[in-house]
Amino acid sequence: MDNCIFCKIIKGELPSEKVYQDEEIIAFVDIKPQAPVHILVIPKKHIDGADTLPAEDAGLTGRLVIAAARIAEQFHLSGGYRIVTNIGKDGGQTVRHLHFHLLGGEKLKDSY
Ligand code: 5GP
Ligand code: ZN
């Protein structure tokens, strides 16, 4: 997608601090961290959000969550962490490219 910030990061047109990469997934540090560890795990393929996930991407979605859990191990988040995806305006989604936030490194504040 031409105007998608995350597609630009995937193509290397915008810089990012990558922490993981494979054929279909990349993960990088959030530019405005909300916790000591705040990583975004995204598919290289553009998908708008969890609301538009095609059924054939069920496997990819599972692999995104598994990648997030592996990255949590890499960052020694043995006390626990949170994996979150926001959807749409009311859900607080500001970048319309599917991403999972991996948050941890402290006792996270309660939220919904
Ligand atoms: P959302 O609000 O859509 O759930 O999450 C988007 C996230 O992307 C936000 O936490 C925001 O800080 C992060 N973000 C936005 N632009 C950039 C960028 O150019 N680079 C990085 N690394 N993170 C970004
Ligand atoms: Zn995109």
Give mean pLDDT, residues 10-14. Answer: 97
Q: Which of 38, 76, 97, 99 is catalytic?
A: 99
- Of 26, 42, 82, 94, the residue with max ligand 1 atoms within 8 A of its CB, to mutate for a pocket test, comes to 94
Q: Three-state DSSP class for 32? A: coil
pLDDT at 2: 82
- Of 6, 17, 32, the residue with max ligand 1 atoms within 8 A of its CB, to mutate for a pocket test, comes to 32
Is 56's pLDDT higher than 80? yes
Name every protein residue with a CB atom under 6 angstroms from any ligand 1 atom.
Answer: 5, 14, 16, 28-32, 40, 86, 92-95
Residue type, 51: D
pLDDT at 43: 98
Contacts of 61 (CB under 8 A, 6+ apart): 50, 53
- Which value, to the nearest 10 degrees, does the dihedral of the CA atoms of residues 6, 11, 12, 13 take? -80
99 is catalytic: yes
pLDDT at 59: 98
pLDDT at 111: 77
For the chain, give the mean pLDDT.
Answer: 97
Is 27's pLDDT higher than 90? yes
pLDDT at 112: 74
Is 1's pLDDT higher than 90? no
What whole-number percentage of the chain has pLDDT above 70? 100
